[in-house]
Amino acid sequence: MMSVVFLLGLVAYASASSCCSYGDQQKVKAQWNSLWNTPDSSTSKIIFGKEVFARFFEVDPESKSLFGRVKVEDPDSPEFAGHVIRVLTGLDLIINLMGDDAMDAELAHLNTQHLAREGITGTHFTEMFKVLDGSLRQVLEEYDSLSWRYCFRGLGAALRDGLPA
């Protein structure tokens, strides 16, 4: 009997230790907002976003072809800067909606937008989250990688839903 209780305890621990808890959500929101809500945030956002995309294109050079309409070949173009801001604003929205009922609707909306774009795969989201993880690790002093990973796991699954691998 004791071994059954112990086994159930391990299962409960394993389940709880890989989900985005309320505490994880609060850490992610606080860390993101410390980066996102700075006095020079528009300049910082564009610089940070361009760096994230540059690293993403290093990991997956072929993915550049998915961004032709936003002039990816000219990262200093207003079209590309606008795209960077739209992506980061979408990320800001879903991060700050964590724990809110509206988050599922926003994730479904973003998923639908990406399903409609030919060539986007679930792997692209996985790669982007890895790049974002590495980039955040460099700019946030007290980066809590476990909280971010737990929360990104659920967000990523919702965004990848229905996309080819």
pTM over 0.75: yes
Task: Give residue 9's pLDDT.
Answer: 39
Q: Which residues are annotated as a binding site for heme b?
A: 114
Residue 41 has pLDDT above 80, yes or no: no
Contact (CB, 8 A) for 107 and 158: yes
Please choose, from the candidates 98, 88, 112, the residue with its C-alpha nearest in 3D space to the C-alpha of residue 160.
112
The 10s digit of each residue's pLDDT in 92-132 is 999 999 999 999 999 999 999 999 999 999 999 999 999 99
Mean pLDDT over residues 2-7, rounded?
39
CATH architecture of the domain covering 21-160: Orthogonal Bundle (1.10)
Distance CA 3, CA 1 (A): 5
Q: Which residues are annotated as a binding site?
A: 114
Task: Give residue 12's pLDDT.
Answer: 38
Residue 5 has pLDDT above 80, yes or no: no
SS3 119: coil
